[in-house]
Amino acid sequence: ISTSGSPVGGTGRPYAFVFLNDTTAGTGYDWAPDVAAWHLMPGSYTYLVMLADYGARFGGFTVGSNATNFSAVLDFSNASGVYTPLWAFDNAQLPPIAGSGLGTIHDQYMLFRNPTAACTACDGATNGNLSAWFLDYNDYLYPTFPGVLLEGTSAYVDLDRPVSFTVYNESAGTGSARQNWYFDLPIEFYRVAHATVSNATGIGTWPTMYEILMIATTPAAQNPFPQGNVIVWDSTSVLIRGNHFTTETVPGTGCGSGGACVPLQCTSGCVPPDELLLYGGRNNTIWGNTFADPAGVSPTAGAGAVYAGLAEAESGDLVYNNNFSVDNPAMLMAYDIYNDSCWAGYAGQCLPLFTPSYRDTWNVTNQSATDVAATANGFPLSGNVLGPAYRLQGGNYWWNWGSALDPFGTVPYTNVFDYTQNATNLPPGYPAVESSLRVGGDFVPLRLGYFGPAAVNLTFTESGLAAGTLWSVALGGVIHEGTGASIVLSEPAGRYAYSIGAVAGFQRPANGTVTVGSTPVDVPVVFVALPPVTYAVTFTESGLSSGTPWSVTLNGTTNRSATGTIGFSEPSGTYAYSVGAVAGFQRPANGSVTVAAAAVAVALVFAPIPPAAFAVTFAETGLPAGSSWTVSVNGTPHAGTAADQTVPLVNGTYRFAVATTSAGYLPTPAQGNVTVDGRNQTVPVAFALPIVAPTYAVTFVESGLAPGSPWSISLGGTTESSSGASIQYRLANGTYPYDVGGYTSHYRVSSTSGVVRVNGSATNVSVAFESAGAQPAGTPTTTDYLLGAVAVVVVVGIAVALLWRRRRPPTPAKETTTGPT
């Protein structure tokens, strides 16, 4: 079930009322479970769906062996009026029953309040009444349906000027004996916060109900286990303000002149509910309400008392500025009406009963009625319930204050009441005449006809502020502002609490109280300037070694430190700063810092002062003009075409190297070290083409080797090999050692090494080889054939020669010289 066209927008998820297979309104309904799916016997069903301010929907559906889906959309219809109760079980169910609002403290949900009037889509509800479907009651004759039921809601809700939620009205008798009964459904809040009931013109006319067995036949004024026409249960921050509560006489057995009989008839033991019941909650406010007997009935005390106003069964509430003109204004709640020690499903005389002790506030301080004495759910509360002529507010009006049990002048008022008719059911030790307000009471009760003293001037005069400065005084919840030296109020005699509003830059004067009598009163108010609010300004350095002292001057104040930070404390503003010099370091630049109601950090960097540099000039000579050359100092090149390359260097020793792109030129020195010792220096660099010495042919000529035999000469680190008769080198003047090698083992050389001197001309060096034994494989010569006959002799001779040669000492190294000696 959903709604369409809600005044607060969106598609609501309402708490609607569905009746199945009913053709006429009746009593004793069978309740269906409050769930999304119902289990019904197969068959055809009719339905009626209703919700206040939405058109009722009629129809039917058939239930078979398969699940059946049923949906209905209720269209907003302001003409339908409030013809059903208004129920919500969470915040989401409030918008569909609200005419405006967002559920906030400044824009509260305003529940529907337009009564039925010739409506056509309201299932026949008569003018000003709910649909007759909701006329139902339990076996205690208490109504089945609350007119308003909020459970678990926390959004801000105002039930302002609500409809009466009447389900039936009847009259009986004629003439002066004629009676009227209105059957109005109750208003109930359960575990609710921020709900308000405002400005109802008549709440609480359900006529009758049975009491529990324990107190049967006891009048409502004596009943310690009441019901209520408005019930606030386990709730907080509920405001009941500006309402008129009343009650009904108990219907008898008479029938109306038209033959109709009052549906609720009780011959004995019936009482009307109390007008307002609060239980189990806290921080609720009851203000500006009137609690009255039925129309035409004057309140009565003692044995003649029948009706009851307030049943206060919780602590922490504020109850003030109400008009209690009902038989028993505030019930003696001698027992806990819920925890009565009875077992589940039974309500009766179960002992022992729990005796509570409730602590509530029944007045505010005596003050002007124009003051806002309290604020609840966003509503400022001021005034006097007895009328605008009454200049003061404080407590409540109690019709029986001034009686023998509650005489004038006795405060606090506690509603001492004669409970003789229920004395046997009071807790042990309770007297029959007992204070109904057992803790505290009303210390400032209102008195009919006492309008309060005339107002006199109450002047607050300030000093310390500059002319034209706005300041204020709060008195009784009302703030009075001014820019002059004085704020003048007009207040009646009484004692008033006041507070002075804060002014920026000044200490707030203390709150206080002032007593107003018959003459004007002046209250001095002294404003003392606050020291300016300061904020941390922190300078943090980097670059200094630990323990190095440094300083900062800010706004004329110099602070020093040997740590990494220096701190100041300054009010908002812009300030110049400078940094003190530190030996060996460059001083950070001066600057300014802006403080804008917050701490500020400034970073300073100390950089070491670089050591003095001296000019080291590398002066070249020998290069052609415009030649590019480079000197690299510790790996850093400095290039140019000028004759001088100047490099600034601090003291120390540096490695340098010199090079040029001019072909053939060599520098002297090509590299080296230069030491800087506090003075400028010049390093001469001479470039020159190298002098190329002439070379001469040195030819090594072998003899004794068979043609094609290999041999080699090693000279100056170079080895030249050949299988020919000569090996040639080109050498400059000088002396050069050489080695002979590379020949086979069949030969020996006369000298394996030697020295050759070159002195301005070519020279030849002879290298003599001879056979060392058998000839190497090869083609024999003609002589070999001719001597074949004497081969043996030759061989023998060779052997002898070899033996003889082996006995000779080694031949010394051969030295060859060329040129003149």
Q: Does residue 708 share a domain with residue 573?
A: no
In a domain, 222, yes or no: yes
Same domain, 209 and 355: yes
pLDDT tens column, 357-392: 899 999 999 888 888 999 999 999 999 999 998 988
> Does residue 551 have a pLDDT over 90?
yes
Q: Residues 466, 427: one domain? A: no
- Does some domain include residue 114? no
How many whole angstroms separate alpha carbon 642 and alpha carbon 617? 11
C-alpha of 299 from chain center:
58
Q: Has residue 69 been placed in a domain?
A: no
The residue that leads in pLDDT, 13 or 325, is: 325
Are 384 and 462 within one domain? no
- Same domain assignment for residues 335 and 425: yes
Residue 273 has pLDDT above 60, yes or no: yes
Give the sheet arrangement for strand 671-676, strand by strand. Answer: 636-640, 629-633, 652-660, 671-676
Whether residue 757 is found in the same domain as residue 663? no
Average of pLDDT values for 784-807?
34
On whether residue 584 sits in a domain, the answer given is yes
pLDDT for 258 equals: 46
pLDDT value for 262: 58
Looking at the structure, tell me whether residues 654 and 720 fall in a common domain.
Answer: no
Higher pLDDT, 310 or 518: 310
Among residues 608, 636, 664, the one where a domain terminates is 608
Is 392 found in the same domain as 259? yes
Domain boundary residue, one of 501, 526, 551: 526
pLDDT(574) > 80:
yes
pLDDT at 784 over 70: no
Helices (H) and strands (E) in the chain — how many of each? 2, 66
Count CB atoms within 10 A of the CB of residue 425.
Answer: 19
Domain with residue 746: its CATH number is 2.60.40.10
Do 681 and 735 sit in the same domain of this protein?
A: no
- Report the domain count for the chain: 5
Domain stop point among 433, 449, 465: 449
List the one residue out of 232, 243, 262, 377 whose CA is nearest residue 321.
243
- For the record, the structure tokens of 71 come out as 């949906």
Residue 479 lies in a domain: yes
CATH number of the domain residue 460 falls in? 2.60.40.1120
Q: Does residue 175 sit in the same domain as residue 271?
A: yes
Mean pLDDT of 408-433: 88
Q: Is residue 11 part of a domain?
A: no
Q: Are 682 and 710 part of one and the same domain?
A: no
Chain segment 225-241, per-residue pLDDT in tens: 888 999 999 999 999 99
DSSP conformational letter for 785: H
In a domain, 426, yes or no: yes
Same-domain status, 233 and 334: yes
User: Can you tell me whether residue 91 is helix, strand or coil?
Assistant: helix
What's the pLDDT at 182? 80
Helices (H), 671-764: none
Per-residue pLDDT tens over the stretch 719-737: 999 999 999 999 999 999 9
Backbone angles phi, psi at 423, to 5 degrees: -60, -35
Which tokens sit at 792?
């043996």
**Contact between residue 316 and residue 280 where contact means Cβ atoms under 8 Å apart:** no
Q: H or E stretch including 246?
A: none
- Residue 179: both structure tokens together: 């009676």
H-helix or E-strand containing 226? none
pLDDT for residue 614: 92
Strand blocks (E) in 563-670: 565-571, 573-579, 585-586, 591-595, 600-605, 607-608, 614-621, 629-633, 636-640, 644-649, 652-660, 666-668
Q: Looking at the predicted structure, is the pLDDT value of residue 799 above 70? A: no
Structural domain contains residue 35: no
DSSP state string for 331-350: ----S-SS--SPPTT--S--
Q: What is the chain's mean pLDDT, rounded? A: 86
Containing structural domain, residue 660: 614-688
